[in-house]
Chain A
Amino acid sequence: MHDLTLAKIAQGLAKGEFSSRELTQHFLERIEKYDSRFNSFITVTGERALTRADAADTQRAAGQAGILSGVPLAYKDIFCTEDIRTSCGSKMLDNFKAPYNATVVEKLELAGTVNLGKTNMDEFAMGSSNETSFYGPVRNPWNTDLVPGGSSGGSAAAVAAGLAPAALGTDTGGSIRQPAAFCGITGLKPTYGRVSRYGMIAYASSLDQGGPMARSAEDCALLLNAMAGHDPRDSTSVSRAVPDYTQSLDAPLKGLKIGLPREYFGDGLDEGVERAVREAIAVYESLGASVIDVSLPHTQHAVPAYYVIAPAEASSNLSRYDGVRFGHRCDDPQDLMDLYKRSRAEAFGEEVKRRILIGTHTLSEGFFDAYYKKAQQVRRLIRQDFLDAFEKVDVLMGPAAPTTAFALGNKADPVQMYLQDIYTIAINLAGIPGISVPAGFHEGSPVGLQILGPHFGEAHLLNVAHQYQQATDWHTRQPDLP
């Protein structure tokens, strides 16, 4: 059952081929059996999951099941789940049981899904390798010497290893797409504002967006149907009708205009990755698409702009972790200053501290204009690059990351790590949707093809990804787990 797509699982449940309890039990057993190798879960909610599965089975027997009823899922541990630890991968929240559900969790629960547990992640979603988690690094199911990517590395590894049929991730600078690419699964970052951020612990509020990580584009469409939509509790969520994303999956691609940003195929791109991506594009040509060379001239400025904006927002967003109302508090604080400084120093990891310091520094008096304001101006130029490109083409394609998964401990230098996100970060700055789909292997590691569309172009992106997955079988590959 663990090699089935969500769509197939939904069918199987509908036909009575298996019950939600059997299915849930199966995934829980696999987590029990295999996850010590990958460390993809922080918290497994076995008993709750079985109770939910039984409820879904009862509902189905009563003829009241929806399409996602009884389908097991996992949540990145950044989504608040009521009465379940929500750690955000940090010691700071190791003792935090959220008193509420995130809006997307609420929606998916309403749709009848079963929560298997909370997946590992880079601390506060800051990282590209899942090595910054307080709960230890996650390992890539294809090769446990390698990282799964980050920050949604736990979700990606869990789905790739067949420990969950699908999972939720969040993407601030590539945190869904890059781990999806490294682990050989499909991951969608929706348009900023498409999915509610309420109850999704903030890293960088103007960039964060939750999205599905699954075995196929069709599965992502099924999940996005349940997740998307305006939330009155999130001012930045968009009030705009949500289409049925599964409806347009089968539209033919004849006449599709694909733009290849030349900046995405330049220096630093691993040859093996480029080869796989170009082969994928050739598949599209065979499906009737045409390919046009385009330019996104401000690409090289995306990483620098991001590393001003994201840490600035983060430095402010993370001020609430002060040891007063929840979270870690140091022992025997001498005074208020000691309480603040020690609680935060003890409970935040290195990368989080680095970003808080950078953000605090760049927002300081005398630096604001040179850094923050400048970065926001550049942000507008970056968005304009995409708006211009989508005047000429329907979608853009390129690699999701410059390399395949790298070895644990391989990127000790923060800047080198940041440059990993060169192809994904601009998308968050512009707020457009992007999807990574499995497009082959290089030296045994999966390669991700990234497809980008204009704002609110998810339906078309999913259609374009789905058609590729009808023509290829890369997305069906799973690592052998002895």
Chain B
Amino acid sequence: MQWETVIGLEVHVQLATQSKIFSGASTAYGAEPNTQACAVDLGLPGVLPVLNENAVAMAVRFGLAIDAEIPEISVFDRKNYFYPDLPKGYQTSQMGQPIVGAGEVEITLEDSSTHTVRIHHAHLEEDAGKSVHENFHSQTGIDLNRAGTPLLEIVSEPDMRSPKEASAYVRALHTLVTYLGISDGNMNEGSMRCDVNVSVRPKGQESFGTRAEVKNVNSFRFIERAIEVEVERQIDLLEDGGTVVQETRLFDPDRDETRSMRTKEEANDYRYFPCPDLLPLMLDQAYVDHQRTLLPELPAEKRQRFKEVLGLSSYDAAVLTATRAMAEYFEQVHTRCSDAKLAANWVQGELSGRLNKENLDITQSPVSAEQLGDLLLRLKDDTINGKAAKQVFAELWSRTFETADEVIEAKGLKQVTDTAAIEAVVDQVIADNPIQVTQYKDAEPDKRGKMIGFFVGQAMKASKGTANPQQVNQLLKQKLDALL
């Protein structure tokens, strides 16, 4: 039988606020345990929550970016359950009336095809703390520094049909939230966490199969794999005449499998009800309009502009807008050198290659966008040639010089464009290589073009790479053809 996979995602995005969603404690990552958990985060008796304006603004900007409705009223609810990392015995979340209504996100696959994933809603909630199982003999340590960190939970419709679509969706969200500046998007520190709802159905069937929820898939790498193994498991189960149980499962990347998390003997009953310590959140049109003015240029708009205004290819535009940092770097290089195509080639070529090799993020590049822009300017105005440019880049990368001009000066890389000087070099090369000259003369006319490369190489070598290659080429051709 042919099976179709149906995937929906719940993505928890940690918002990049300074303070917690309901308290003035810091959200900074990596502090000593419980030093960033104030009385409100700890759920001490008598304390009360007050909502962080920035968490609200960030959620609204996300909503606007996905073209969602921002309801005038949204409500915070309590989700009641006991767990040691949940200090109050309830999580403050939004159940019935979330801050962001239905919207959509466009995803692009490797073959450049685009799909639309509908967003059911997005809501604000507070994060829980962390449990530490090592170091404490037969006990668990609880660190509540993370408790109360604002999360935006983005709930998609079950619109994805393959693991690749799911990972493309998560990438699109990652790009979006980092563009918006509402999250640092750092998956290693848990800034984006995905729960994946997976089901399969016979191809052509309209109703959905029973789904399993695969929890806490926290890297791009694992999303596809987690779905693949879960889909395999479900299909094997169904083909063996079994049924899929609606349950929560955990992906174990080491064992390359998902396994049931059903350790609790009863189904949860979260007893949601409106939090009486928080009032309905009212966002009027003026507020929403104001937030709209704060939106940066979004990836889709940027892609469009790169194509239409800067004349880049679709491919270049997509690569250069993949992250906000990449786009910003490129734009700065372009501003400096005023040649979009040249800037695009270098950012995607020399720079990205080097970054990948050393496993660096573009924000960690030793060569700044200004430095690269100035270097390209020298390439463009023929001060140096392409080969020298690579040498300058290498010097800048190793930070032995501050600017491209310093390298060019110190290393004598300035291109020789003086015709007389080049002519002398060319004449010398012809005089020094009589055998090759004879071969050139005897060759079929259509082979000669290729043979001239030898002479160019010799000439460049003789000039220590500073001769303008085009000029060298032209002169050699002239002089050799005159010998025919």
A-B contact pairs, 30 of them (CB 8 A): A86-B46, A96-B45, A98-B46, A99-B44, A102-B46, A199-B47, A200-B46, A201-B45, A201-B46, A202-B46, A205-B277, A233-B47, A235-B278, A235-B279, A236-B276, A313-B273, A315-B80, A316-B80, A316-B89, A319-B80, A319-B90, A320-B44, A320-B45, A320-B87, A320-B89, A321-B45, A326-B45, A363-B273, A365-B269, A368-B273
**Distance in Å from the Cβ of A125 to the closest Cβ of chain B?**
12
Residue among B50, B87, B271 with the highest chain A CB neighbour number at 10 A: B271
Q: Which of B39, B78, B82 contacts A322 (CB 8 A)?
A: B82
- Nearest-CB residue, chain A, relative to B37: A325
Report the Cα distance A86→B39, complex, angstroms: 15
Residue among A234, A325, A365 with the highest chain B CB neighbour number at 10 A: A325
Interface digits, A310-328 against B, CB 8 Å rule (1 contact, 0 not)?
A: 0011011011111011100
Report the Cα distance A235→B277, complex, angstroms: 7
Asked if A363 and B271 make an inter-chain contact with CB atoms under 8 angstroms apart, the answer reads yes
Residues from chain A with Cβ under 8 Å of B320 in the complex: none
Q: Which of B49, B82, B273 contacts A319 (CB 8 A)?
A: B82
Does A360 touch B at the CB level, under 8 Å?
A: yes
* Minimum-distance CB pairs A-B, first 10: A319-B89, A205-B276, A363-B271, A206-B276, A320-B43, A199-B46, A201-B45, A201-B46, A80-B46, A320-B88
Assuming A320-B87, A363-B271, is B47 touching A198 (CB within 8 A)?
yes
Interface digits, A345-363 against B, CB 8 Å rule (1 contact, 0 not)?
A: 0000000000000001001
Report the Cα distance A383→B228, complex, angstroms: 56
Interface digits, B252-281 against A, CB 8 Å rule (1 contact, 0 not)?
A: 000000000000000001011100111100
Report the Cα distance A201→B273, complex, angstroms: 20
Asked if A313 and B80 make an inter-chain contact with CB atoms under 8 angstroms apart, the answer reads no
Report the Cα distance A205→B47, complex, angstroms: 11
Does B288 touch A at the CB level, under 8 Å?
A: no
Residues from chain B with Cβ under 8 Å of A441 in the complex: none
Report the Cα distance A372→B80, complex, angstroms: 15
Interface residues of B (CB under 8 A from A): 39, 42-51, 78, 80, 82, 84, 87-90, 142, 269, 271-273, 276-279
Report the Cα distance A79→B45, complex, angstroms: 10
**Distance in Å from the Cβ of A295 to the closest Cβ of chain B?**
29
Interface of B: prevailing SS: loop
Q: Which of A312, A326, A360 contacts B44 (CB 8 A)?
A: A326
Report the Cα distance A68→B336, complex, angstroms: 69
Does A18 touch B at the CB level, under 8 Å?
A: no
**Distance in Å from the Cβ of B392 to the closest Cβ of chain A?**
57
**Distance in Å from the Cβ of A224 to the closest Cβ of chain B?**
20
Report the Cα distance A313→B269, complex, angstroms: 16
Asked if B273 and A312 make an inter-chain contact with CB atoms under 8 angstroms apart, the answer reads yes
Does A232 touch B at the CB level, under 8 Å?
A: yes
**Distance in Å from the Cβ of A192 to the closest Cβ of chain B?**
11
Interface of A: prevailing SS: loop
* Given pairs A204-B276, A205-B276, A233-B48, 13 additional interface contacts (CB within 8 A): A98-B45, A100-B39, A197-B46, A235-B277, A313-B273, A315-B80, A316-B271, A319-B80, A319-B89, A320-B45, A325-B87, A340-B82, A364-B269
Report the Cα distance A316→B276, complex, angstroms: 10
Residues from chain B with Cβ under 8 Å of A370 in the complex: none
Report the Cα distance A320→B78, complex, angstroms: 13
Interface size class of A (residues with CB under 8 A): 35 or more
- Nearest-CB residue, chain B, relative to A340: B82
Report the Cα distance A312→B279, complex, angstroms: 17
Which residues A299-344 have CB closer than 8 A to chain B? Answer: 312-313, 315-316, 318-322, 324-326, 336, 340
Asked if A233 and B88 make an inter-chain contact with CB atoms under 8 angstroms apart, the answer reads no
Assuming A206-B276, A235-B48, A320-B43, is B88 touching A364 (CB within 8 A)?
no
- Nearest-CB residue, chain A, relative to B88: A320
Residues from chain A with Cβ under 8 Å of B47 in the complex: 100, 198-199, 233
Residues from chain B with Cβ under 8 Å of A236 in the complex: 48, 276-279
Residues from chain A with Cβ under 8 Å of B90 in the complex: 316, 319
Asked if A363 and B80 make an inter-chain contact with CB atoms under 8 angstroms apart, the answer reads yes
Asked if B89 and A322 make an inter-chain contact with CB atoms under 8 angstroms apart, the answer reads yes
- Nearest-CB residue, chain B, relative to A341: B82
**Distance in Å from the Cβ of B23 to the closest Cβ of chain A?**
9
**Distance in Å from the Cβ of A427 to the closest Cβ of chain B?**
17
Report the Cα distance A353→B271, complex, angstroms: 17
Assuming A197-B48, A198-B48, is B279 touching A325 (CB within 8 A)?
no
Residues from chain A with Cβ under 8 Å of B89 in the complex: 316, 318-320, 322
Does A176 touch B at the CB level, under 8 Å?
A: no
Asked if B269 and A80 make an inter-chain contact with CB atoms under 8 angstroms apart, the answer reads no
Report the Cα distance A197→B272, complex, angstroms: 23
Report the Cα distance A336→B272, complex, angstroms: 23
Which residues A67-121 have CB closer than 8 A to chain B? Answer: 79-80, 86, 88, 93, 96, 98-100, 102
